[in-house]
Amino acid sequence: MQRHPIEAADMAAIVDGFGIDWAPLAGRTVCITGAAGFLPAYMVETMLYLNETRALGIRVLALARSRPGFERRFAHHAGRSDLVFIEQDISQPFTLDEQPDYIIHAASQASPKYYSSDPVGTLSANTLGTAALLELARRSHSRGFLYFSSSEVYGQPSRVPTAEGDYGVVDPTNVRACYAESKRMGENMCVSWHHQHGVPVKIVRPFHTYGPRMQLDDGRVYADFVAAILRGENIALKSDGLATRAFCYSADAVAGFWRVLLEGAPGAAYNIGNPDGEISMRALGQLLVGLYPEKGLTLSYVERAAGDNYMPSAVARGCPDIARAAALGWQPRTSLADGFRRTIESYL
């Protein structure tokens, strides 16, 4: 098995198209949690591609909760000596015999459907897991630690486009806050370990990100839209569709994550998103339908089914200010039409 051609092109774009200096990773051991997940898996793929094309000799310690899930995601890399799977729920106590040079903590239940069904599991990875990994970084004298936070830390943002200091209200007594509040706590843990122990932490706050291999059944609106297109079904909108979000193609976002890890300021947080990709859910549905006129699909409005666990956000508009990441030399470059077409065709 080989990478899908679209994924292979994405790897080439990440490695060669953003001017990132990969030399610091040469011969290093990188521990990454949530390794089979949508975005961290693309970071694993980046490292394996670097080994293939630049002979960097990176050793990847890939932590994931499910061996079958990991083996399905990386079936095309079976037998590689540079990819080591470690079965681990990051919210549970663990030991790691090796001392990683870099740690990327990306294990998290990011879908809103889990905020209602498993809030304890959602917050545990972002707090208990973060503390354990920061201690591992401290003991290992790691060269870099990247924490995956979220745009949800802004709550109801005080300004849109939202810069890294534009925090709004999050109600801690609302169960949906299990994600945002635990991401906030994880960030504070990072800066506290940096302040007290000198751990070289960097924080990324991804805004809405999409691309090949995203889970199409995780309950998020844009995933539902892509799944409908693939099934040849009309897109069903379960709201008035007026809320806007800024969507960033995964390869662009992953290049941003690497840029922050390798060149960002210790203790700082960086928005990673595409302000040019801001669009309403209604307009996004219309865009996707319009990409494939031969299918004859339409956009319709339906009520959510009884018992649906999805917990919608109260935020009407989400869009990042990316000036801080841009100052490092990173800019997203994929348009919505190109990105969603690539995403849909990656499943074919």
Q: What is the CATH classification number for the domain harbouring 19?
A: 3.40.50.720
Q: How far apart are the C-alpha atoms of 125 and 91, rounded to whole Å? A: 5
Residue 116 lies in a domain: yes
- Do residues 206 and 273 lie in contact, with contact meaning Cβ atoms separated by under 8 Å? yes
In a domain, 223, yes or no: no
286 belongs to a structural domain:
no
Domain-located, residue 156 = yes
Residue 85 backbone phi and psi in degrees, to 5 = -85, 135
pLDDT (tens digit, 0 to 9) for every residue of the chain, 348 residues total?
A: 689 999 999 999 999 999 999 999 999 999 999 999 999 999 999 999 999 999 999 999 999 999 999 999 999 999 999 999 999 999 999 899 899 999 999 999 877 778 888 999 999 999 999 999 999 999 999 999 999 999 999 999 999 999 999 999 999 999 999 999 999 999 999 999 999 999 999 999 999 999 999 999 888 899 999 999 999 999 988 888 899 999 999 999 999 999 999 999 999 999 999 999 999 999 999 999 999 999 999 998 876 666 666 556 667 899 999 999 999 999 999 999 999 999 999 999
Residue 294 lies in a domain: no
Residue 70 in contact with residue 7, Cβ under 8 Å? no
Residue pLDDT, tens place only, 208-224: 999 999 999 888 899 99
Task: Count up the domains in the chain and report the number.
Answer: 1
- Asked if residue 325 belongs to a domain, the reply is yes
Does a structural domain hold residue 307? no
Q: Look up 179 and say whether it is catalytic.
A: yes
pLDDT tens-digit readout, 187-246: 999 999 999 999 999 999 999 999 999 999 888 899 999 999 999 999 988 888 899 999
Provide the domain limits for residue 121.
Answer: 5-214+247-276+319-333
Q: What is the pTM of this model?
A: 0.95
| Residue 13 forms part of a structural domain | yes
Which of these is catalytic: 42, 114, 179, 310?
Answer: 179
pLDDT digits (tens, 9 = 90+) for 235-289: 988 888 899 999 999 999 999 999 999 999 999 999 999 999 999 999 999 999 9
